[in-house]
Homo-oligomer: A and B are copies of this chain.
Amino acid sequence: MGQPPNPLQARPLRLHPDRLFPADPAVRDLARRLYGEVASLPIISPHGHTDPAWFALNEPFADAASLLLAPDHYLYRMLYSQGVPMQALGVPDRKGASVADPRAAWRLFASHMRLFRGTPSAVWLDHVFAEVFGFDVRLSAATADLYFDRIGELLAAPAFRPRALFDRFNIELLATTESPTDELLHHKAIRESGWKGRVVTAYRPDSVVDPEHEEFWVSLERFAQLAGQDVSYWAGYLEAHRIRRRAFIAAGATSTDHGHPSAATADLPAADAEALYHRILDGVWSPQDAELFRAQMLTEMAKMSLDDGLVMQIHPGSFRNHNAQLFWTFGRDKGADIPRPTDYVRALKPLLDRLGNEPALTVILFTLDETAYARELAPLAGHYPALRLGPAWWFHDSAEGMRRFREQTTETAGFYNTVGFNDDTRAFLSIPARHDVARRVDCGFLARLVAEHRLDEDEAAEVAADLAYNLPKQAYRLDADAPLPNRASA
């Protein structure tokens, strides 16, 4: 007789079909029905941070730790918060070096899984483990090697190459995000490859718009080169943006993206804007000048969007690189960005005074400050034709966060001033999990409205499909020929 199985060491992993639905039986039944109608809709991913090289080159991913752990700041920040060194997890430092053995890093991660209880990371990981890799036992210290070995084997197989996964995930469109200094060669290669997958770019000019960005000067020079434009004067700098935006549009872009410390906008007289730009170029600017320049550039981008049709996304409110020591060792985007209170009402007024009444412009607003949902964002989006609300973002891209988003925006902005879901992720394998969470939570919210007789079920079913599929396509202008149908019930 062998050893009996140890239930503590290999507990079963299974994705319950009713996960994330409200517990009340009547609400759950409704949620299940609504979800049943949207569960298999194709994925529209209009904003995210996957690497286009994956789809251009279609090379196999390496091992579990390098694919799932080392690039995921949701994971290593939590481990770091409990005293686990970043190096031990294989997180590369500024020089790109990682000293960790991938298997050792994976074991370390696996032994700390309890830290993720109740977090969206646990939900996403379990989905990836069960659905993508077929595991039926939970990851733990006891199963770390089993996981590491099996994931390694599977990743070597053709069915786990990026394009095969893209197809398997039923992704209809995936947007990546690039700097104007990017030549978009991977996107070119994808288009010319004959592969049918639709991978587009998005224009994210932060590094050439933010004088406080650590790569501003290098980026500006590269920007000028790629645009073939003299950027030493204001009109030339703006023209370079127009040129690069056209190149991005040619690579499929339908949107821009702006990650600023605040939502400040400005609409300076041309001469003042020009003078400001020269203070920036001359290096004689204050932090207030930097803020004002970013603010002015949001309005410039909006004016260009009115011309070239790119949908504009504003992602404000993060204090980036809060941990100075970590920043110097590891660089940006390492789990040390902390949200701050974010004003929209005064901040957006200059842009809105100029362009807020233009139905032909779409500006999608995001927030890390949930207090703005009901107080500022829903009233703004529920009034201005140019404004829409992006989904619950980053720390709030979670079951509770999405629920709060709907509870706090719907009554003032409705559903149709929102744009469906963004996964906004670099964790490619988690994309189906993230969209599934959004669909489940939205269906749970709609089910509650139906159960409370605030919405009829036929209306809820339409809204569910709009949130999962139609609204992102419409808001991001991904299918100009198929706007939202005029439905008889409307």
Contacts and interface: CB of A to CB of B under 8 A. Distances in A.
A119 B412 contact: yes
Interface string A411-441: 1111111000000000000000000000000
Nearest to A388: B81
A350 to B, nearest CB: 10
- As for how many copies of this chain the complex holds, the number is 3
Contacts of A340: 343, 345-346, 375-376
Interface in A63-86: 77-78, 80-83
B490 A140 contact: yes
A122 B486 CA distance: 19
Interface stretch (A161-169, A213-221, A455-463): A455-463
A372 B91 CA distance: 29
A319 interface: yes
Given A23-B452, A123-B454, A452-B22, A115 B399 contact: no
B410 A119 contact: yes
Interface residues of A, number: 109
B374 A401 contact: yes
A107 interface: no
A411 B118 contact: yes
A169 B51 CA distance: 59
B339 A375 contact: yes
Contacts of A20: 452-454
Contact of A352 (B323, B380, B382, B490): B323
Contacts of A338: 345, 376, 379-380, 383
A49 B380 CA distance: 23
Contact of A19 (B369, B370, B378, B454): B454
B383 A114 contact: no
B114 A489 contact: yes
B19 A23 contact: no
A478 to B, nearest CB: 19
A454 B115 contact: no
Contacts of A395: 374-375, 378-379, 411-412
Given A26-B23, A326-B357, A453 B380 contact: no
Interface of A: 6, 8-9, 11, 15-16, 18-27, 77-78, 80-83, 111-120, 122-123, 138, 140-142, 319, 322-326, 335-341, 343, 345-346, 349, 352-353, 356-357, 359, 368-371, 374-376, 378-385, 387, 395-396, 398-401, 407-408, 410-417, 448-449, 451-456, 458-459, 462-463, 486-490
A452 to B, nearest CB: 6
A353 to B, nearest CB: 5
A226 to B, nearest CB: 35
Contacts of A383: 77, 80-81, 322-323, 335-336, 338
Given A8-B488, A416-B115, A374 B396 contact: yes
B400 A453 contact: no
A16 B457 CA distance: 13
A120 B382 contact: no
A388 to B, nearest CB: 9
A416 B114 CA distance: 8
